[in-house]
Structure 1
């Protein structure tokens, strides 16, 4: 470093010192030629004398020029060497910074994979505001074990394909939902990793918030915001049989679901296909706001990677083209949305058992009656019968029929579905519909179930 800093000044003083010494010899070399005391010379001698001083001066000049050229060459070489050293130094700094950045990135990646543990601290509200895209909190297993009362059975909220979901209470009385994966299969591990990867990057009002996760040996846990009214499936097909869901609330749930899907299809790059949309994966908070959950089967850009995707889904919601030849696109989610819309409309399960070895899908059963205006009011869920404008009922039925078309190209985009539902939902519930006071009282959000 010191060599680089003082090269310039050394060259500067050295150059001026040499120039000061090079100027004086010129008069002394010329003096003998013009001296008045010199003896007379012949014309020939004079001619020779006239050339000889020039030869001597030229020799001296040549010597000086050589010195200067040598000095200039030395300066140029030194400058080039200094530039090379400086470039190498800058190159070293640049690569060191990249190395440190890469190391930090690897450390973050290791954290996501569970190679390090960091206790979950702070309140849920502060976590939401400080959460950064692409990050998720790694939580301590003992903390979650305590929060779930050692995974007490009475705290189970629901049960999925790979484990149970427990109600938990963290410090400062923060209530959350903890999903424990009991299955250690490769499929379960892959779904766990997909869920963490996707939900750590997604933030939307109609998509469940992943607050954290935990890996402790073979045990894997996912921590979500608590949805007080559980799932749409529980509300529709559980003990209450949909009694808490008014017509307007059902339309709000459909609208919220469409908004969540539109975000995945239109605003994520690449497009995210949920692949397992169903009423049990639509969760409801205390105000019946709907949020999509369970992204373990979700894929990105599925239309291009269909050959590498294992056929998965839930019977009754799977689109025909995906079931038959594995074709997976965003229209597959639209089909599943149509089935959910039929559940909201009719109050029936997606697949119902007709005989010991025979089942019937809601699509097959309802399709002939959905397109008959005289029959449609008779098949609507009795809980909401005669509580809606018939024009709105026909419009929702038409949307559902389009969504469950066997040919994917005939199905609408989820954006078109969204825009068709907005005018059917009251302003107070997130739509644009202006309703009378009487209808508003009917659409009032009931107490938590």
Structure 2
């Protein structure tokens, strides 16, 4: 009996030591020491990324129980958890890692955690003690824009005013990432599944797994295609140059989804309508816009506004990137449309000019935690790749 107890104890100790050794091994391989160095080299703030232990996240997810899964796809799984301070979080676990991208991954964790914008999902930190790093984000509780637009019952509940609000807020977030974040950030996978909504339908841009940061050299080439079919910039396949205009094109598709309620790609539609962007552009060219708008969207009161948003979407979808507007211009125009819709006394008067609208766009200044603006980063290390999240429960 004593021998059995001793053997059991030795086995337990051996197993525990092996688990501790594995956690330390994964922590080193996933860049834990590098992250600690980066954090030690900067002033501690509320925006500093938190390094979670594997035990921390096991506790808040009931050991990653399947009942806590709120989304999954080809990239991996998303779990919901609740911290000790009652803060709800979303934990993203990728299926694969790229050991060659450790430094870039750590740089992005540091930089993304510094982003503090009301329309960008907040990155709280990461866990590096597991074989695949875990990213910890704020939890957004009202599902994705995709699932609202493409569910008949939900779609009827999203008025045009709400859709315009979501479009304007998403544009503000992208404008901030392109123009005010340091270094600038190109998302590269803008789509309605990556726009989350809270209970007040406030838009939150998420999933920076395919993003790229830095001051881009015009001659820089990126031969890795990252993004989602239906949203991909056609010019990229000709030039392989990565610029912020790639996000502009994808956002144009999002605007068309808001207008029409149609999916960006659907093989159940006729041949000329499989690609939503192509169908939309041909409809605009043939002056058939109001034939493709979602029934619950169009009304006599907002015809002019719908037409202006459609023209803006058409400009975003211009094949030549240089001819597309910047996200700052897009955001200003959408914010301006929201203002005029709220203040009917401006109807018929001179339109608000750029100086009046620009201060209303929420561009918050932030410092560059890397100490310079010329750093080039990629996130293939924890990229969501080209997959769409398929939520299982409301919220992420």
TM-score (norm. length: structure 2): 0.70
Match of residue 115 from structure 1 = 33
Counterpart Cα distance in 2 of 1:304 and 1:272: 15
Match of residue 433 from structure 1 = 342
Pair 1:357–1:306, CA change in 2 (3 A): farther
Match of residue 394 from structure 1 = 307
Instruction: Within 5 Å, give how 1:163-202 maps onto structure 2.
Output: 163-186=76-99, 193=106, 195-202=108-115
What's the CA shift string for 1:104-128, capped at 9, x where partnerless? Answer: xxxxxx899323999xxxxxxxxxx
Counterpart Cα distance in 2 of 1:406 and 1:400: 12
Q: Secondary structure at the match of 2:133?
A: strand
Counterpart Cα distance in 2 of 1:195 and 1:148: 25
Equivalent of 1:422 in 335, 347, 352: 335
Equivalent of 1:351 in 265, 268, 276: 265
Q: Secondary structure at the match of 2:208?
A: coil
Counterpart Cα distance in 2 of 1:160 and 1:274: 19
Match of residue 316 from structure 1 = 230
Q: Secondary structure at the match of 2:221?
A: helix
Matched, 1:331 2:245: yes
TM-score (norm. length: structure 1): 0.63
Counterpart Cα distance in 1 of 2:200 and 2:92: 22
Match of residue 284 from structure 1 = 197
Q: Secondary structure at the match of 2:128?
A: strand
Number of aligned residue pairs: give it.
Answer: 313
Matched, 1:366 2:280: yes
Pair 1:250–1:309, CA change in 2 (3 A): same
What's the CA shift string for 1:361-412, capped at 9, x where partnerless? Answer: 1111111223455x32221112323275100010010000000011112211
Note the residue ranges of structure 2 that are not aligned, 5 or more in a row. Answer: 1-27, 37-43, 346-393
What's the CA shift string for 1:51-71, capped at 9, x where partnerless? Answer: xxxxxxxxxxxxxxxxxxxxx
Deviation for aligned residue 1:181: 1.9
Equivalent of 1:208 in 114, 121, 128: 121
Counterpart Cα distance in 2 of 1:402 and 1:117: 41
Deviation for aligned residue 1:311: 2.3
Counterpart Cα distance in 1 of 2:81 and 2:153: 24
Counterpart Cα distance in 1 of 2:290 and 2:270: 30
Please tell me the root mean square deviation across aligned C-alpha atoms, in Å: 3.3
Note the residue ranges of structure 1 that are not aligned, 5 or more in a row. Answer: 1-109, 119-128, 437-447
Match of residue 274 from structure 1 = 187
Structure number with bigger Rg: 1
Q: Which one scores higher on RCO, CA 8 angstroms, separation ≥ 6?
A: 2
**Which one has the bigger helix percentage?**
1
Q: Secondary structure at the match of 1:405?
A: coil
Pair 1:381–1:239, CA change in 2 (3 A): closer
Counterpart Cα distance in 2 of 1:266 and 1:217: 35
Q: Secondary structure at the match of 2:141?
A: coil
Matched, 1:407 2:320: yes
Deviation for aligned residue 1:220: 1.6
Counterpart Cα distance in 1 of 2:322 and 2:242: 13
Pair 1:359–1:402, CA change in 2 (3 A): closer
Pair 1:116–1:395, CA change in 2 (3 A): closer
Pair 1:242–1:112, CA change in 2 (3 A): same
Q: Secondary structure at the match of 1:390?
A: helix
Counterpart Cα distance in 1 of 2:194 and 2:201: 14
Equivalent of 1:340 in 241, 254, 264: 254
Counterpart Cα distance in 1 of 2:172 and 2:336: 14
Instruction: Within 5 Å, give how 1:227-246 maps onto structure 2.
Output: 227-238=140-151, 240-246=153-159
